[in-house]
Chain A
């Protein structure tokens, strides 16, 4: 079955960077876009962007344009999301999710908690 397994929780200091991984299995990795969504504690879902593992093309939400980088390694069916210049309000659970045929976010990873604290 389709499964996305994300890397473990991270604790970072303000100004640092974090790189979260998302390993896919159960489908052809290059067939579907991979999205990243975050959720701050007690808050709603916030879309960050997507990467097309087939072409390497990507689209970022305007808010994250200058400080997020999404990449993928097709040899190991893994997508990555790196966020730089972390601030305390970047403390959130970060999810990866594959896009289905109707552009829904069909399958989600379990989430990765990133805590930014001095």
Chain B
């Protein structure tokens, strides 16, 4: 089955740039979606189709995808960005949706 690997945690000071990676075999050939989940809440999509942003999501959130790594970038990180972030793809070979292992972003 297809596996997506994320770093368990990222810690940074306010105003810095967070880069959260999502590794998978030839992930660049797939569409990647990113979800933000705050404690006790349902996930919210922050980036879809590699780099598209839903309405209401700040421009500080951006995404890229190439080769074996997709990246979610959060510019000028704020305290309100503290959350768990998950990448997700559709694995066409199994017709399954697959989530990454998740990354906890902590704003110091």
A residues sitting closer than 8 Å to B (CB atoms) are 35, 37, 44-47, 50, 59, 61-62, 95, 97, 100, 102-106, 108-111
B48 engages A61 (CB within 8 Å): no
- Cβ–Cβ < 8 Å partners of A46 in chain B: 99
A102 engages B42 (CB within 8 Å): no
Q: Does B102 contact A (CB under 8 A)?
A: yes
Q: Does B101 contact A (CB under 8 A)?
A: yes
Q: A45-B102, A59-B95 are in contact. Are A102 and B31 (CB under 8 A)?
A: yes
Which chain B residues in 54-91 approach chain A with CB under 8 Å? 54, 84, 86, 88, 90
- Cβ–Cβ < 8 Å partners of A109 in chain B: 42
Q: List 5 additional A-B contacts (Cβ < 8 Å) besides A103-B97, A110-B42.
A: A45-B102, A46-B99, A97-B43, A102-B49, A105-B35
- Output the least CB separation between B9 and chain A (Å): 13
Place the interface of chain B in its size category: 20 to 34
B45 engages A45 (CB within 8 Å): no
Shortest Cβ distance from A110 into B: residue: B42
- A35–B99 alpha-carbon span in the complex (Å): 13
B residues sitting closer than 8 Å to A (CB atoms) are 1, 31, 33, 35, 37, 42-45, 48-49, 52, 54, 84, 86, 88, 90, 94-102
- Cβ–Cβ < 8 Å partners of B95 in chain A: 59
A102 engages B48 (CB within 8 Å): yes
- Output the least CB separation between A63 and chain B (Å): 9
A104 engages B101 (CB within 8 Å): no
A46, A50, A102 pick with most chain B CB within 10 angstroms:
A102
B96 engages A45 (CB within 8 Å): no
- A35–B31 alpha-carbon span in the complex (Å): 18
Q: A44-B86, A44-B101, A45-B86 are in contact. Are A104 and B45 (CB under 8 A)?
A: yes
B42 engages A103 (CB within 8 Å): no
